[in-house]
Amino acid sequence: MTLFVWSVCFGLATPLAILLALARRSSMGGVRTLAVVFIELTRGTPIVAMLYVAMLILPMAVPNGQIVDKNVRAMIMITLFWPAYVAEVVRAGLQAIPAGQSEAAAALGLGYWRTMQLVILPQALRFVIPGMVNLAIGFLLATSLLAVIGIFDLLNAARSSATDPQWLGYYNEAYLFAALIYFVLCFGGSRYSLWLEKYLRRRIVTEP
């Protein structure tokens, strides 16, 4: 459940974050204002509050009294919460791209979206790989907050196993094993980030 929630929500949050970052840098005042308001309000709200909204408020907004699974509700709120943080990292990468890149693309006849797709975003995302991986690791650890609303994630599984009659008294072992799993996942992610940075740097050097 931990890996499922993390992979699905982070996978959905990344394209939303890119759109938010582009909207925050947009020349259209209304779009830019909406993006700023959403990002700042979301970043100023604790994720635990968002999860409680998913459990208590969201069911009231569903028409005809339909019941949505609490896992789905939590994932919806997390998917809306994470883009606000990822968008700021992406925006930093966009700001690092010289203005001449966009001007050169415009001189070649490329429109805004083609310029972003082919010129700006590939370079910007390459610059922010360390920040993206750092956020991804932080989000993986933040999934432990799902235990607060009763979702059976890794931390909740460790707590439940420690209260099982056959395993009473093994609290330290249960939580240490959960911590070991988190460490392996996070350490593996950081090592992959370093490898990816070196790989992309070699490609830039060897490309004609």
Domains and CATH numbers, the chain: 2-206 (1.10.3720.10)
pLDDT of 64: 65
Ranges of residues in the chain whose predicted pLDDT is under 70: 62-67, 202-208
pLDDT, position 204: 56
pLDDT tens digits, 85-104: 999 999 988 888 888 888 88
pLDDT tens for 35-61 read 999 999 988 888 888 888 877 777 777
Q: Where are the alpha helices (DSSP H) in the chain?
A: 2-24, 29-43, 47-52, 58-61, 70-95, 99-107, 112-115, 121-127, 129-142, 154-162, 171-206
